[in-house]
Structure 1
Amino acid sequence: MIYLFHGEDTYRSLKKLNELLDYFKKNKNAGLSLFNIDEENFDSGYFETLIKSCHLFGDKNMVILKRALRDKTASDFIMENIKKCGESNNIFIFHEDVLVKPVLDAFVKNAQKIWEFNFLNKARLTAWLDKESQKHNLILDYKTKESILLEHGSDLWSLSNALEKIILGLKHQTPDGKEMNIFGIVDAFSNRQRLEAWLLLQKYQMRGMDAEEVFWKIFWQVKNLLLVKLSLTEYRRARKVNANSSAAEFSLKQKIKLHQFVLQKCLKTEKLFSQEELDKFSGELAGIYQNSRYGNLEFGMAMEKFLLKI
């Protein structure tokens, strides 16, 4: 059995996927063994075993494959066995972005259910923004909504982050009435001050802040640093000049949709990380979020371990 979640709007597709996983998780009688596979840990022999395997008492495997088709070797093998996946008693759930037509056609032919998520148009984006704002008793005026949509476009990940910043503001009010700068830990992370970052996490949590709030700050900073580093590398290769020059900074301001203050901070600290490290951090943070949703780890402890490794 195959379920496919795909499309350019990965925010909504991932949300829908998590809703399905929550349903199976809450259904105690489902009798499912969960397996997670992505483009980095795909193994053809292991995958074939999951297709064919069966359990006593009718239990099934539920295999979650996220972005596995990005890897050509994995994609070729999966396409060769897509019919077997569809006919298997086990459940295979694929989460991908945009698929080429031959691959999509193969899923259409073999999948039990397909969900496609394209970018929302402006009217639906505005409705989404209103709905998310109302959840937090926040009312945005027309000018603010237009400004947010103009800056972030159809990217719901970016829109969600922008809305979060408006809700939280630059300061976080603590139970004792004092204010603390919740972006201090972002600066500590960006400067690879692991002990300072760890201490700030302890401080935030003692004052009532949820570790998930810290997670999203760090997650988006990793994305920002990676975006700036990749853009600098591209600029250097194209222009054959010092990527840290003022000309490069001016070019990035025109190209990258980051607030000037955020961009300048990233330009100062991106050199402290390699692209490989930022890719690794991004994957680790995604793993923390996913495993926390499944109840496999405690968010605060996972973030402590992560910060102590930077």
Structure 2
Amino acid sequence: MLYLIYGTDTKKARSKARGLLDSLISKKPDSVVLRLSSENINKGVLEEGIQGRGLFSEKYVVFLDTISDGENFDELVIDKAKEFALSENIFILLEAGLTKKIVSKFEKHVDKMLEFSLPKVKKEEFNIFSLTDAFGARDRKKLWVLLQKALRAGSSSEEIHGILFWQIKNILLVKGGGTPTSLGLNPFVLKKAQGFAQKFSDKEAHDTSKDLIHLYHRARRGEATM
């Protein structure tokens, strides 16, 4: 007989496995309990668990505790699943996260399978263009906070660098003069850039652009991180 208890919610999975083990022992207090981990498992003790009988008991209860943490999980556990299931003894397999492929190998053999998974954390949504507003307004405190949010949301440093360079380039275009048509900017983007351009002197805008370009090339050469 084989029970599989697994899942990313390791606390609940372990609690359930221990509860099952305690219940089985209380029903058959003379059972021999084998507690095996990745550190003490071997073929010999597994064979004993599959075929053996205690001296004064009818069955063994074999508790396999996160064997996948070690080596030879396939050979010692997955390949033995059918033998565990057909054995007159009881096997409780406790694991953390298992892939669907591995779970499928157990499905046709287990007598009971329980999964305890942690709820999926919703990825933080982030509007990367909010960085350009703080950058253009020269609000360093807000920009720093938004940078941390962007990184937590999964934005890459290259993506962040690119969007900031895009904004300073728009500011330089506005400062260079020209008609809205000749600048080739979206009306909304143009209006924003015109407002931000007032926050930078010509020198500051050019220096900021140069700094971003230099940072990019230094990062490419491995001399800096973005």
Normalised to the residue count of structure 1, the TM-score between the two structures is: 0.36
Normalised to the residue count of structure 2, the TM-score between the two structures is: 0.49
Larger radius of gyration: 2
User: Comparing both structures, which one devotes a greater share of its residues to helix?
Assistant: 1
